[in-house]
Structure 1
């Protein structure tokens, strides 16, 4: 009886425990279902993960290495990259690789774009182990094979260990450009070796190896541990400072410069190497490679290049090939080849070797040297002045008539600087036409526009398209950038108030809130960051 009573006394506790267990199982089951549902909800587009603010963190946690493209649907460069990006995703999937590709609509997901400093499109960033604070910028070639190759290099060891002469010979024979680090140790825990591996991981187009083998030190006449040698047709050595140790940035730049051909032809395959070389000065030879007389000029161009290695990058542009797409950056037409142009891609300043200039190696060398020494003035692009430039309500300005019109002392001139390809410029066009119609009979106000991709004005900064500047009447040659709302009422109020935004309009959309297309400099257009 006492046992029965004891059992009856324990029954409520047993029932409670049983109930808790059932509840726990149900909770775990529900959580598992939610996790499965979340995994099932991972959206893909042609094998590429589609990310947004709500699933971005989850994707980083799930995938150890994740390459993310920030894109804009309207960008022609994003549209060109899309099939290659999808093909790269398919190649990785076919191989059963755990490496994944993802994309974010940077126009829609503005918070993510701001978090990762995305200001132009497309931008590719690699996220590792769920870390979203220090993503690595993509530095490979922007085709399917280049993307896969770069990712695999990031995932695996970036340098091989050479232990004997036969391994070294095979390594050098197998690679057109090869870098070998000669160190006293080969363990990654050594600071110089670790930095060497880091540099190697950021240069997927160059093969890296390292060695501590005395036989190889002797074979290659290396007497200084910490020597890094680049092997091409010739050999170039980079010596590590014994006191300060290896400088990773200096080594990376040394390898970038020395691994480039003396003359790089502009192609879609080479563009990432050209604009990733961190050499801001470029000298371009525009020729038609189908014409033997022009092709012969390449020899003189190449002969002038060695003296400027590391300072000026010599680039060949075939106007009958892929080089044709950069002609408009220099205001050139294909029939004007052969031609030479010098450009600093950071300032976008361009320099012209006159049509009467000789294209011999000495003449090319002299021109290059004079530009570097500041003895040549930059030239500004301009279209021809149209006969009917002032007939419509909105006047058409070009570089050649800009100063005369914009700084007319008797008129206040409001100018839209646009890009023909920019969707935001196109969207604003009807409103600008209405503004021109409204003020067409005013003698003191003139509405104008200028294609800023084909015309340049000294000292006038254009940071995005469209950009609006107001030039008030008078002798002072002032200019005021308009940064308020882009509607007819706001434009009119600005003009009627003498080029100042009325106080009541301060709460309207600011410049930062207005949609705009980023400026396409040569480097941003062909190698977007």
Structure 2
């Protein structure tokens, strides 16, 4: 009897909290319903990346496929919204799957009326491709999202997963990245992955040379390496600022032969 009362009061508390926050308890499919603007804003701001399915009703085209995809992309937060005020707040006019990203201040919309075919696997790829975080690990899927972003300059951390300082450097760069939101995309390239050897080679590096910091600008199609030494927040911050100030562009590219000097 005591256990039953605990369960009843727990469910009641969850229901009250959800009503106060404008977020309905997750249904059986596990996807929370965002019922007002405040709830939607809190949800979207809860992580570097958040996904919202804006559907008028459960019978809408793509709804079931979206719910199925949501189960496969954890821990990326995924929500549902049918509230018209929320739709207007984010300029949504028809059933749409939207990915909100902080790293490049982006709202990526997939309007379902324009999609010839919608299936769960395709939506999973769309979400994972656009899972661009303050520090994004480079792979064949995220590469598409990285190069489609409006932010064309990438700050690259080349490091071997499992090395002594790997986790420390990962956290350090992730903490610094918000300072340069909208200016750089911070990217982690795992040098221990054979498939990344080409990326390392583009900068004249091998896995034995790591960790190193590089910078690539796709508009200029140019690359630079930060000088060897300890990788700190201050040193990377300074490196980034030399690019923003235009000083780095005047220096030699990574991988270029050094200029010969007449003696």
Kindly indicate whether residue 207 of structure 2 is the aligned counterpart of residue 347 of structure 1.
no
Corresponding residue of 1:307: 179
* CA–CA distance in structure 2, aligned partners of residues 167 and 296 of structure 1: 35
- Structure 1 pair 267–258 and aligned structure 2 pair: CA distance change class (3 A): closer
Corresponding residue of 2:13: none
Q: Answer whether contact 1:180 1:228 (CA < 8 A) is retained.
A: no
- Structure 1 pair 402–302 and aligned structure 2 pair: CA distance change class (3 A): same
Q: TM-score, normalised by structure 1?
A: 0.29
Q: Answer whether contact 2:202 2:255 (CA < 8 A) is retained.
A: no
User: In the TM superposition, what whole-angstrom CA distance separates every residue of 1:204-251 from its partner, at most 9, and x where no partner exists?
Assistant: 9896854236xxx6xxxx6x933369788x999x9xxxxxxxxxxx74
Corresponding residue of 1:171: 31
5+ long unaligned stretches in structure 2: 1-22, 34-42, 44-48, 58-65, 93-97, 110-126
User: In the TM superposition, what whole-angstrom CA distance separates every residue of 1:339-387 from its partner, at most 9, and x where no partner exists?
Assistant: 000110121111221113x41112212211221221223423457xxxx
Corresponding residue of 2:159: 287
Q: Which secondary structure does the structure 2 equivalent of 1:292 belong to?
A: coil
Q: Which secondary structure does the structure 2 equivalent of 1:311 belong to?
A: coil
Structure possessing the higher relative contact order (Cα contacts under 8 Å, 6 or more residues apart) = 2
Corresponding residue of 1:272: 144
Larger Rg belongs to: 1
Q: Which secondary structure does the structure 2 equivalent of 1:296 belong to?
A: helix
- Structure 1 pair 231–270 and aligned structure 2 pair: CA distance change class (3 A): closer
Q: Answer whether contact 1:283 1:342 (CA < 8 A) is retained.
A: yes
Q: Answer whether contact 2:225 2:254 (CA < 8 A) is retained.
A: no
User: In the TM superposition, what whole-angstrom CA distance separates every residue of 1:30-61 from its partner, at most 9, and x where no partner exists?
Assistant: xxxxxxxxxxxxxxxxxxxxxxxxxxxxxxxx
Corresponding residue of 2:122: none
- Structure 1 pair 382–339 and aligned structure 2 pair: CA distance change class (3 A): closer
Give the alignment's Cα RMSD to 1 decimal: 4.4
Corresponding residue of 1:510: none
Kindly indicate whether residue 198 of structure 2 is the aligned counterpart of residue 336 of structure 1.
no
Kindly indicate whether residue 99 of structure 2 is the aligned counterpart of residue 226 of structure 1.
no
Q: Answer whether contact 1:351 1:371 (CA < 8 A) is retained.
A: no
Counting matched residue pairs gives 183
Corresponding residue of 1:490: none
5+ long unaligned stretches in structure 1: 1-163, 188-199, 239-249, 384-398, 405-529
Corresponding residue of 2:233: 361
Once the 2 structures are TM-superposed, how far is the Cα of residue 172 of structure 1 from its aligned partner? 3.6
* CA–CA distance in structure 2, aligned partners of residues 402 and 181 of structure 1: 60
User: In the TM superposition, what whole-angstrom CA distance separates every residue of 1:78-104 from its partner, at most 9, and x where no partner exists?
Assistant: xxxxxxxxxxxxxxxxxxxxxxxxxxx
Q: 2:135 aligns with which of 263, 266, 276?
A: 263
Corresponding residue of 2:83: 212
Q: TM-score, normalised by structure 2?
A: 0.54
1:6-405 equivalence runs, <5 A: 165-166=24-25, 170-172=30-32, 177-179=50-52, 209-212=80-83, 225-227=88-90, 251-252=107-108, 259-321=131-193, 322-356=195-229, 358-376=230-248, 377-382=250-255, 399-400=257-258
Corresponding residue of 2:121: none
User: In the TM superposition, what whole-angstrom CA distance separates every residue of 1:104-130 from its partner, at most 9, and x where no partner exists?
Assistant: xxxxxxxxxxxxxxxxxxxxxxxxxxx
* CA–CA distance in structure 2, aligned partners of residues 338 and 362 of structure 1: 16
* CA–CA distance in structure 2, aligned partners of residues 343 and 286 of structure 1: 12
Q: Which secondary structure does the structure 2 equivalent of 1:252 belong to?
A: strand
User: In the TM superposition, what whole-angstrom CA distance separates every residue of 1:447-497 from its partner, at most 9, and x where no partner exists?
Assistant: xxxxxxxxxxxxxxxxxxxxxxxxxxxxxxxxxxxxxxxxxxxxxxxxxxx
Q: Which secondary structure does the structure 2 equivalent of 1:225 belong to?
A: helix
- Structure 1 pair 292–325 and aligned structure 2 pair: CA distance change class (3 A): same
Once the 2 structures are TM-superposed, how far is the Cα of residue 180 of structure 1 from its aligned partner? 5.2
Q: Answer whether contact 1:305 1:314 (CA < 8 A) is retained.
A: yes
Q: Which secondary structure does the structure 2 equivalent of 1:269 belong to?
A: helix
